[in-house]
Amino acid sequence: MKITEKLWLGKLTTPLPDRHRPVYNWFTMKESFSRELVLLLAETWGLDEGDLVLDPFCGTGTTPLACRELELDCIGYDVHPILLLAARVKLRDYDAGKLKENIEAFLKNRFEGQKVEAPGFIARVFPSAVIEEIASIRRKILELEDEAIREFMLLGLAIAAMRCSWAHKDGAAIKVVKRPIPPLLQELGRQLRRMCSDIKKLRMKGSKVKVEFCDARKMNLTDGSVDAVITSPPYLGKKEYLSAYRIEQWVAGIEGPNPSDLIGGSEGGDFSQLVDLVGNKPRETWGYFKDLFEVIKEIQRVCKKGANICLVVSDGCLPGGPVDVCQTLSGLAEKAGLRAKSLVIVNKRYCTTPSRKKLGITKEGLLIWTK
């Protein structure tokens, strides 16, 4: 496998290039990559209209959204309900006029605060009057018959409510920072109107693109059906998917992900197939590699011969020091029958202890494989 360093590509593996891009920026995760990365790979590989791209970890839908712009077919999977909601809302075709009328009619409602039992973490980040207002607005949204309009408004409410909270996201942690907050209904109106006008700014083409709930370890796809894979699996040792969006989940009335659905959840089982590649690594990483080996075998199964595959991954940083993920996953890909062509290193960071003692270097890279 060829190893190269292209640190100028590092920005493309973050959501930063899309922070002002309509629709893409409605609901982002700090782990998202950019539209530009998808465009670059599609061009490099010569993907064409009608080709099917797979993103088995689609999160908030960057790959499917970029594919729609490029007129490529795409299927995105994830197991995180609020992220799937965000991806669905971003990808839908809307009648902008009808949507606008519905939004304006909705905002004319009178929202009497509704008494609710809120969990402790919600009571810490919202004043009680805002909690009651959220509950009342959410109830009215859930009464809307049209699923597209209902989900659009729920996402808008989740985004607007965060701006009316004392929650401050600092990496994976949610801190409480008391500050003056704007009126919720005003923020909701602003958010929904902005989303509505964004729709007209993104040129969506008529390709077949969908996202659905599916565990990447067992995909709903037939053998040899996929032309390319562009994805980024969860990073080793990161458990934040369980809690990072719990405020938005409560606001939208949506369940969190099931812990055993998330990659890295496998505890026991047979690790004998992996022992040569992961045997010398800390025991707590084995479940992660075992789960990803299942995903890689599925990628091998569903890809056409000659398909190109790109995974954005990062080495892990555990209390004992860095854990090589980039080369290990490429070894697993070879074991599954794929060809690991190259590793393009796009970022290098120090792995440190909480007291900032340097333990070594971790790399983030693009793993380029073919079938």
Ligand X SMILES: C[S@@+](CC[C@H](N)C(=O)[O-])C[C@H]1O[C@@H](n2cnc3c(N)ncnc32)[C@H](O)[C@@H]1O
> Which residues, 261 to 300, sit near ligand X by CB under 6 A?
261-263
316 binds ligand X (CB under 6 A): no
Cα–Cα dist 145/148, whole Å = 9
Residue 343 CB, shortest distance to ligand X, in Å, is 18
Q: Which of 314, 319, 172 is nearest to 236 (CA)?
A: 314
Span of 79-87, 93-101, 121-129, 269-277 interacting with ligand X by CB under 6 A: 79-87
Residue from 29, 39, 181, 254 in contact with ligand X (CB under 6 A):
29
Residue 215 CB, shortest distance to ligand X, in Å, is 4
Residue 219 CB, shortest distance to ligand X, in Å, is 9
> Which residues, 201 to 260, sit near ligand X by CB under 6 A?
215-217, 232-234, 241
Residue 113 CB, shortest distance to ligand X, in Å, is 33
Token pair recorded at residue 227: 């032309």
Residue 261 CB, shortest distance to ligand X, in Å, is 5
Size of the site for ligand X (CB under 6 A): 25
Residue 181 CB, shortest distance to ligand X, in Å, is 27
Token pair recorded at residue 263: 């990659």
Print the binding letters for residues 46-65 with ligand X: x by CB under 6 A, - otherwise. ----------xxxxx-x---
Cα–Cα dist 72/39, whole Å = 11
Please list the residues that pair with 107 across neighbouring strands.
none
Residue among 131 and 236 whose Cβ is closer to ligand X: 236
Question: Is the CB of residue 234 less than 8 Å from the CB of residue 265?
Answer: no
Query: Crossing angle of helices 81-91/147-163, nearest 10°?
Result: 120
83 binds ligand X (CB under 6 A): yes
Question: Is the CB of residue 309 less than 8 Å from the CB of residue 321?
Answer: no
Cα–Cα dist 137/157, whole Å = 8
Rounded-to-10 torsion of CA 25, 17, 244, 172: -150
Residue among 29 and 107 whose Cβ is closer to ligand X: 29
Amino acid letter, residue 300: Q
18 binds ligand X (CB under 6 A): no
334 binds ligand X (CB under 6 A): no
Backbone φ, ψ for residue 227 (5° rounding):
-90, -25
What's the sign of the alpha-carbon dihedral 234, 34, 79, 170? positive
Give the binding site for ligand X (CB under 6 A): 29, 31-33, 56-60, 62, 77-80, 83, 215-217, 232-234, 241, 261-263
